[in-house]
Protein backbone atom coordinates (compact mmCIF):
# COMPACT_ATOMS: atom_id res chain seq x y z
CA UNK A 1 0.00 0.00 0.00
CA UNK A 2 1.41 3.38 -0.98
CA UNK A 3 1.81 5.67 2.03
CA UNK A 4 2.93 8.91 0.42
CA UNK A 5 4.36 10.29 -2.77
CA UNK A 6 8.11 10.46 -2.99
CA UNK A 7 10.62 11.44 -5.63
CA UNK A 8 12.65 8.37 -4.75
CA UNK A 9 11.03 5.00 -5.49
CA UNK A 10 12.59 2.20 -3.41
CA UNK A 11 13.75 -0.77 -5.45
CA UNK A 12 14.90 -4.25 -4.55
CA UNK A 13 17.21 -6.55 -6.47
CA UNK A 14 15.26 -9.77 -5.92
CA UNK A 15 17.23 -12.99 -5.97
CA UNK A 16 14.15 -15.20 -6.26
CA UNK A 17 12.73 -13.17 -9.14
CA UNK A 18 16.11 -12.39 -10.77
CA UNK A 19 15.00 -8.82 -11.44
CA UNK A 20 14.62 -5.37 -9.93
CA UNK A 21 11.33 -4.84 -8.12
CA UNK A 22 9.67 -1.46 -7.60
CA UNK A 23 8.43 -0.89 -4.05
CA UNK A 24 5.72 1.54 -2.98
CA UNK A 25 7.38 2.20 0.38
CA UNK A 26 10.43 1.34 2.47
CA UNK A 27 8.20 -0.86 4.63
CA UNK A 28 7.11 -2.79 1.56
CA UNK A 29 10.75 -3.19 0.54
CA UNK A 30 11.57 -4.62 3.98
CA UNK A 31 8.76 -7.15 3.57
CA UNK A 32 9.98 -8.13 0.10
CA UNK A 33 13.47 -8.71 1.54
CA UNK A 34 11.92 -11.22 3.94
CA UNK A 35 10.02 -12.94 1.11
CA UNK A 36 13.27 -13.31 -0.82
CA UNK A 37 14.97 -14.93 2.19
CA UNK A 38 12.07 -17.17 3.31
CA UNK A 39 12.72 -20.80 2.20
CA UNK A 40 8.97 -21.56 2.43
CA UNK A 41 8.29 -19.00 -0.30
CA UNK A 42 8.47 -20.79 -3.64
CA UNK A 43 7.72 -17.71 -5.74
CA UNK A 44 6.28 -14.23 -5.32
CA UNK A 45 5.23 -11.33 -7.43
CA UNK A 46 4.92 -7.65 -6.53
CA UNK A 47 1.73 -5.72 -7.39
CA UNK A 48 0.29 -8.72 -9.25
CA UNK A 49 -3.10 -7.42 -10.44
CA UNK A 50 -5.75 -4.74 -10.05
CA UNK A 51 -9.22 -5.08 -8.56
CA UNK A 52 -11.94 -2.58 -9.47
CA UNK A 53 -14.62 -1.72 -6.88
CA UNK A 54 -17.08 1.02 -5.96
CA UNK A 55 -16.50 3.22 -2.93
CA UNK A 56 -18.81 6.13 -2.12
CA UNK A 57 -20.21 6.06 -5.64
CA UNK A 58 -16.83 6.19 -7.34
CA UNK A 59 -14.92 3.50 -9.19
CA UNK A 60 -11.69 2.67 -7.38
CA UNK A 61 -8.80 0.34 -8.18
CA UNK A 62 -6.90 -1.72 -5.66
CA UNK A 63 -3.53 -3.34 -6.37
CA UNK A 64 -2.40 -5.82 -3.69
CA UNK A 65 1.25 -5.58 -2.72
CA UNK A 66 2.22 -9.20 -3.32
CA UNK A 67 1.02 -12.58 -4.52
CA UNK A 68 2.97 -15.35 -2.81
CA UNK A 69 3.18 -19.08 -3.46
CA UNK A 70 4.08 -20.57 -0.08
CA UNK A 71 4.87 -24.11 1.04
CA UNK A 72 2.99 -25.21 4.15
CA UNK A 73 2.62 -28.54 5.95
CA UNK A 74 -0.81 -28.86 4.34
CA UNK A 75 0.60 -28.18 0.86
CA UNK A 76 1.13 -25.22 -1.46
CA UNK A 77 -1.01 -22.15 -0.84
CA UNK A 78 -1.46 -18.83 -2.56
CA UNK A 79 -1.41 -15.74 -0.38
CA UNK A 80 -2.37 -12.22 -1.33
CA UNK A 81 -0.50 -9.84 0.98
CA UNK A 82 -1.20 -6.22 1.82
CA UNK A 83 1.60 -4.25 3.50
CA UNK A 84 0.33 -1.28 5.45
CA UNK A 85 1.23 0.90 8.39
CA UNK A 86 -0.72 0.46 11.62
CA UNK A 87 -2.00 4.03 11.62
CA UNK A 88 -3.66 3.52 8.21
CA UNK A 89 -5.77 0.59 9.39
CA UNK A 90 -8.23 2.97 11.08
CA UNK A 91 -9.03 4.78 7.81
CA UNK A 92 -12.40 3.91 6.22
CA UNK A 93 -11.01 3.70 2.70
CA UNK A 94 -8.25 1.33 3.79
CA UNK A 95 -10.76 -0.86 5.63
CA UNK A 96 -12.88 -1.02 2.48
CA UNK A 97 -9.84 -1.97 0.40
CA UNK A 98 -9.00 -4.81 2.78
CA UNK A 99 -12.57 -6.09 2.57
CA UNK A 100 -12.23 -6.20 -1.22
CA UNK A 101 -9.01 -8.19 -0.91
CA UNK A 102 -10.52 -10.62 1.58
CA UNK A 103 -13.55 -11.21 -0.64
CA UNK A 104 -11.40 -11.93 -3.70
CA UNK A 105 -9.27 -14.44 -1.79
CA UNK A 106 -12.31 -16.12 -0.27
CA UNK A 107 -13.78 -16.62 -3.76
CA UNK A 108 -10.52 -18.10 -5.07
CA UNK A 109 -9.65 -20.21 -2.02
CA UNK A 110 -6.54 -18.14 -1.35
CA UNK A 111 -5.25 -16.70 1.92
CA UNK A 112 -5.32 -12.97 2.55
CA UNK A 113 -2.73 -11.43 4.87
CA UNK A 114 -2.32 -7.92 6.18
CA UNK A 115 1.15 -7.21 7.56
CA UNK A 116 2.32 -4.06 9.33
CA UNK A 117 5.58 -2.73 10.71
CA UNK A 118 4.77 -4.63 13.89
CA UNK A 119 5.35 -7.96 12.12
CA UNK A 120 7.96 -6.80 9.62
CA UNK A 121 10.29 -4.77 11.82
CA UNK A 122 9.94 -6.32 15.26
CA UNK A 123 13.00 -7.89 16.86
CA UNK A 124 16.35 -8.41 15.13
CA UNK A 125 15.33 -10.68 12.25
CA UNK A 126 15.05 -8.05 9.49
CA UNK A 127 18.23 -6.29 10.60
CA UNK A 128 20.14 -9.59 10.49
CA UNK A 129 18.81 -10.53 7.06
CA UNK A 130 19.86 -7.15 5.69
CA UNK A 131 23.31 -7.59 7.16
CA UNK A 132 24.04 -10.99 5.63
CA UNK A 133 22.22 -10.10 2.41
CA UNK A 134 24.95 -7.57 1.64
CA UNK A 135 27.31 -10.51 1.07
CA UNK A 136 25.00 -12.57 -1.15
CA UNK A 137 27.17 -11.96 -4.24
CA UNK A 138 30.39 -13.04 -2.47
CA UNK A 139 30.18 -16.77 -3.03
CA UNK A 140 33.20 -18.50 -1.48
CA UNK A 141 35.55 -20.36 -3.82
CA UNK A 142 35.25 -24.13 -3.46
CA UNK A 143 38.41 -24.49 -1.36
CA UNK A 144 37.11 -21.99 1.23
CA UNK A 145 33.62 -23.44 1.13
CA UNK A 146 34.98 -26.89 1.93
CA UNK A 147 37.42 -25.57 4.54
CA UNK A 148 34.64 -23.77 6.43
CA UNK A 149 32.41 -26.84 6.48
CA UNK A 150 35.25 -29.20 7.41
CA UNK A 151 36.41 -26.88 10.22
CA UNK A 152 32.87 -26.62 11.56
CA UNK A 153 32.53 -30.40 11.48
CA UNK A 154 35.82 -30.82 13.39
CA UNK A 155 34.47 -28.39 16.01
CA UNK A 156 31.45 -30.58 16.68
CA UNK A 157 29.13 -29.06 14.10
CA UNK A 158 28.73 -25.78 15.97
CA UNK A 159 31.00 -22.80 16.64
CA UNK A 160 30.91 -19.05 17.01
CA UNK A 161 31.50 -17.03 13.88
CA UNK A 162 34.79 -15.68 15.18
CA UNK A 163 36.09 -19.11 16.28
CA UNK A 164 35.14 -20.64 12.94
CA UNK A 165 36.86 -17.81 11.08
CA UNK A 166 40.01 -18.24 13.18
CA UNK A 167 40.02 -21.98 12.42
CA UNK A 168 40.09 -21.27 8.67
CA UNK A 169 42.54 -18.35 8.66
CA UNK A 170 45.38 -20.69 7.76
CA UNK A 171 44.18 -20.20 4.18
CA UNK A 172 45.53 -16.64 4.40
CA UNK A 173 42.42 -14.65 3.53
CA UNK A 174 40.56 -11.93 5.41
CA UNK A 175 37.29 -12.82 3.68
CA UNK A 176 36.26 -15.77 5.85
CA UNK A 177 33.53 -13.88 7.75
CA UNK A 178 31.94 -12.53 4.52
CA UNK A 179 32.01 -16.11 3.20
CA UNK A 180 30.29 -17.31 6.40
CA UNK A 181 27.63 -14.63 5.91
CA UNK A 182 27.13 -15.84 2.33
CA UNK A 183 26.60 -19.39 3.62
CA UNK A 184 24.12 -18.09 6.21
CA UNK A 185 22.17 -16.12 3.62
CA UNK A 186 22.01 -19.13 1.31
CA UNK A 187 21.07 -21.41 4.21
CA UNK A 188 24.09 -23.65 3.93
CA UNK A 189 24.87 -22.65 7.52
CA UNK A 190 22.33 -21.73 10.18
CA UNK A 191 22.14 -19.36 13.15
CA UNK A 192 19.52 -17.86 15.43
CA UNK A 193 18.61 -14.77 13.42
CA UNK A 194 15.99 -13.70 15.94
CA UNK A 195 18.82 -12.60 18.26
CA UNK A 196 21.47 -9.93 17.53
CA UNK A 197 24.01 -11.21 15.00
CA UNK A 198 27.54 -10.75 16.35
CA UNK A 199 30.88 -12.46 15.87
CA UNK A 200 30.01 -14.50 18.93
CA UNK A 201 26.84 -15.88 17.33
CA UNK A 202 26.84 -19.66 17.06
CA UNK A 203 26.54 -21.14 13.57
CA UNK A 204 25.60 -24.71 12.78
CA UNK A 205 25.77 -27.01 9.78
CA UNK A 206 22.14 -28.11 10.23
CA UNK A 207 18.94 -26.30 11.08
CA UNK A 208 17.73 -26.77 14.66
CA UNK A 209 13.95 -27.19 14.72
CA UNK A 210 12.13 -25.27 17.43
Which letter does DSSP use for residue 30 in this model? H
Are 16 and 115 found together in one domain? Answer: yes
Are 25 and 114 found together in one domain? Answer: yes
**Count of domains for the chain:** 2
Structural domain contains residue 1: no
Which domain CATH number covers 99? Answer: 3.40.1350.10
**Number of alpha carbons in the 13 Å side-chain half-sphere of residue 140:** 26
Are 17 and 115 found together in one domain? Answer: yes
Are 72 and 142 found together in one domain? Answer: no
Sorting pLDDT into bands at 50, 70 and 90, what band is 173? low
Structural domain contains residue 210: no
- pTM for this prediction: 0.90
H-type alpha helices, 63-158: 92-108, 117-120, 125-133, 142-154
Q: What is the pLDDT of residue 170?
A: 73
- Nearest Cα to 148, choosing from 159, 136, 132? 159
Are 33 and 73 found together in one domain? Answer: yes
Encode pLDDT of 54-100 as tens digits: 888 889 999 999 999 999 999 999 999 999 999 999 899 899 999 99
Q: Is the pLDDT of residue 208 over 60?
A: no
Are 114 and 155 found together in one domain? Answer: no
Q: What is the pLDDT of residue 9?
A: 84
Are 41 and 115 found together in one domain? Answer: yes
Structural domain contains residue 110: yes
Residues spanned by the domain of 84: 11-120
Amino acid sequence: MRFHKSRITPRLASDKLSQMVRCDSCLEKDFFIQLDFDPAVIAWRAHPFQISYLYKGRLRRYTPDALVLRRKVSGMVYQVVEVTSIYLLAKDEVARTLEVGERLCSDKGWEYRVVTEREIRSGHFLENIKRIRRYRSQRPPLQYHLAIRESLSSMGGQASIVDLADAVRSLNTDRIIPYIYWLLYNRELFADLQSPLTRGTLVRATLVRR
